[in-house]
């Protein structure tokens, strides 16, 4: 599905007057962030987009990042600006995100896009929730009238996911759980769709879901494993193996939501390029 979407994006982007341009800023030595940024670069290069990567030293001050964003905001070759999160603790994440022009905010994290999504206006939709909506639609999974339980309330996944699911036309009944939720299982057992974005392996297993349910696993946890070349293996937030033999559809990790997140970033960048070329 992700490959098919990327192939479509490639075709569409060839019809523009100029190539879509994506700028990615990474201010971290965090190994996972480096991997995510590399995947984004690979996709952008494969599509023939203009791709600029700014890898800043962990000690970079806030003013340096803000002035780079200012430059990219007024750079006509660049349609999308992405600052990989998390940022080091001495940098104010909100200040950085708010500096990105909403017209180039292909992550959909700026207050303007968050607000527009919330009130059902045209907006850049954060890539992971957008990818999940596309996945459900691709596999013909109905949302109208369904009970959707989201585990996790982050700005990147949980909150925008809830906003999308609540929208008119999507029409799900949404429950958003967090670490203080009493009896998580009682909530998930009534769900037609469980979206688990808790950031902890084993947050749910097969005993948390009813027959016929759909589980979307957003987790991306590195589990130490000396038998692997890298010294770790990736695991989602759901105990995937426990679902064996159950009548449940579940997305794998790796090879699931992550691929769609990257594809949706490319989709948002193409969309921005189109808007900025007034097509
Ligand atoms: N960190 C984890 N997920 C994301 C994402 O989708 N975008 C950015 N910018 N940072 C992230």
pLDDT tens digits, one per residue of 234-278: 999 999 999 999 999 999 999 999 999 999 999 999 999 999 998
Long-range contacts of 7-12 (CB under 8 A, 24+ apart): 9/47, 9/263, 9/266, 9/267, 9/270, 10/46, 10/47, 10/48, 12/270
Q: Which of 19, 104, 105, 107 is catalytic?
A: 107
Is any atom of ligand 1 closer than 6 Å to the C-beta of 154? no
Q: Specify the ligand 1 atom closest to the Cα of 261.
A: 6
217 noted as active-site residue: no
Q: Residue 126 belongs to what H/E stretch? A: none
The Cα 236–Cα 16 span in angstroms is: 38
Is any atom of ligand 1 closer than 6 Å to the C-beta of 156? yes
Nearest one of 7, 99, 94 to 46, comparing CA atoms: 7
86 C-alpha to ligand 1 centroid (Å): 8
Q: Which of 84, 105, 130, 192 is catalytic?
A: 84
Residue 217 near residue 259 (C-beta atoms within 8 A) = no
72 Cβ contact list (under 8 Å, min separation 6): 23, 78, 81, 104
- If you average pLDDT over residues 57-71, what whole number do you get? 97
Per residue in 153-182, pLDDT tens? 999 999 999 999 999 999 999 999 999 999
**DSSP reduced 3-state for 50:** strand
pLDDT tier at 50, thresholds 50, 70, 90: very high
Record the tokens describing residue 119, joined without a space: 């009130």
Is any atom of ligand 1 closer than 6 Å to the C-beta of 176? no
The Cα 83–Cα 25 span in angstroms is: 5
Q: Which of 40, 104, 130, 159 is catalytic?
A: 40
Whole-prediction pTM value? 0.97
Beta strands in 103-168 (DSSP E): 147-151
Alpha carbon nearest to ligand 1 atom 9, residue: 84
Alpha carbon nearest to ligand 1 atom 11, residue: 85
Residue 238 near residue 196 (C-beta atoms within 8 A) = yes
Is any atom of ligand 1 closer than 6 Å to the C-beta of 128? yes
- If you average pLDDT over residues 14-32, what whole number do you get? 95
Q: Angle, to 10 degrees, between the axis of helix 2-13 and the axis of helix 257-276?
A: 20
40 noted as active-site residue: yes
Is any atom of ligand 1 closer than 6 Å to the C-beta of 85? yes
């Amino acid at each position: 599905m992700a490959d098919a979407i990327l192939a479509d994006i490639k075709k569409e982007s060839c019809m523009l007057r100029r190539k879509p341009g994506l700028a990615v800023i990474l201010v971290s030595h965090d190994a996972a962030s480096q991997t995510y940024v590399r995947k984004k670069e690979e996709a952008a290069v494969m599509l023939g987009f203009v791709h600029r990567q700014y890898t800043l030293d962990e000690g970079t001050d806030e003013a340096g990042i803000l002035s780079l964003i200012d430059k990219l905001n007024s750079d006509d070759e660049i349609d999308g600006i992405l600052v990989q999160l998390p940022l080091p603790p001495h940098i104010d994440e909100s200040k950085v995100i708010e500096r990105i022009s909403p017209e180039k905010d292909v992550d959909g994290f700026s207050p303007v896009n968050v607000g527009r999504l919330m009130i059902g206006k045209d907006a850049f939709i954060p890539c992971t929730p957008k990818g999940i909506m596309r996945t459900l639609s691709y596999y013909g999974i109905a949302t109208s009238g369904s009970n959707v339980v989201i585990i996790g309330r982050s700005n990147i996944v949980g909150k925008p996911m809830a906003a999308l699911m609540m929208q008119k036309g999507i029409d799900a009944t949404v429950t958003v759980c967090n670490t203080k939720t009493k009896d998580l299982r009682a909530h998930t057992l009534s769900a037609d769709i469980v979206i688990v974005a808790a950031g902890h392996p084993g947050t749910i297993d097969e005993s948390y879901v009813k027959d016929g349910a759909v589980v979307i696993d957003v987790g991306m946890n590195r589990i130490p494993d000396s038998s692997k070349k890298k010294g770790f293996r990736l695991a989602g937030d759901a105990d995937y193996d426990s679902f064996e033999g159950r009548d449940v559809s579940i997305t794998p990790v790796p090879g699931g939501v992550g691929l769609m997140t990257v594809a949706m970033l490319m989709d948002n960048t193409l969309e921005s390029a189109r808007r900025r070329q007034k097509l």
